[in-house]
Amino acid sequence: MFDYADKHCQQNTDCLVNISKITPFKWDTLYIIDSGWNLDEIKSVIGADLKERTDIFSKIIFVKDGQVVYFEEYYYYPDSGDEKILVLDFDYENQDKGLIAYYRVPREDSKIVIKMKRDPSVEDKIYYLFSSINEQQVQRNPSSFRKPS
C-alpha cells in the first residue's frame, strides 16, 4: 500500500485507491478493525476463524470464502523507528453518526481513501491515513454492542 501511495498519491490530498487492484491475492471482504476487540468479537464480525492475538493493535483482515487470507496489525506509535506509518482512520473527531466500530469493504466496492501527511514536528515520518470512501463501508456501533476500549 505504501509503494502504491508513494507512486500515485500526493501529500495532503485524498487519494482514491482501489484495493482490489493492488492486492496480489484473492479476497471477498476486507475488514479494518480498531484495537480493543477480543478474539470472539472479531470472529463474529468477520465470520472466519482467527488465531492471532487481537486486543492491542488495529487490524486489516482480508477474508475469502470464510477463511482469513491476509492479516496485518498496526499500532500507532509516533516514536517508532518507522518512516512510514499507516493510521487507520476511525474518525474519532466526528461522532455525529455514532462511533465507527469497523470498516467492511467488499471486493466489488473496494475503493478506499489514503491521505499522505507529514507532521512538521517530525520530519522523518510520513503518515498514511486509511479511511472509507462511503457510508456503506462503515459499520457503526449499535447501542447493544460493546464499544472497543
Residues whose CB falls within 8 Å of the CB of residue 146, separated by 6 or more in sequence, listed in order: 41
105-148 pLDDT tens trace: 999 999 988 888 877 776 677 888 888 878 888 887 754 444 55
Scan for cell 474518525, then name that residue: 91
Which grid coordinates belong to 29?
471482504
Within-domain flag for 148:
no
Between CA 45 and CA 54 the distance in angstroms is: 13
Between CA 85 and CA 142 the distance in angstroms is: 30
Sheet with 14-18, strands from edge to edge, namely 14-18, 111-119, 122-132, 84-88
What is the number of structural domains in the chain?
1
Within-domain flag for 18:
yes
0.75 surpassed by pTM:
yes
Residue of 87 and 79 predicted with greater confidence = 87
Q: Which domain holds residue 112?
A: 2-140
34-80 pLDDT tens trace: 878 888 888 999 999 987 766 677 888 999 999 999 998 877 666 66
Residue of 91 and 110 predicted with greater confidence = 110
The predicted pLDDT at position 144 comes to 45
Between CA 15 and CA 124 the distance in angstroms is: 21
Within-domain flag for 146:
no
Within-domain flag for 124:
yes
Residue of 83 and 107 predicted with greater confidence = 107
11-33 pLDDT tens trace: 888 889 999 999 999 999 999 88
Within-domain flag for 145:
no
Q: What are phi and psi of 94, to 5 degrees?
A: -120, 85
Scan for cell 520530519, then name that residue: 123
Within-domain flag for 87:
yes
Within-domain flag for 53:
yes
Within-domain flag for 149:
no
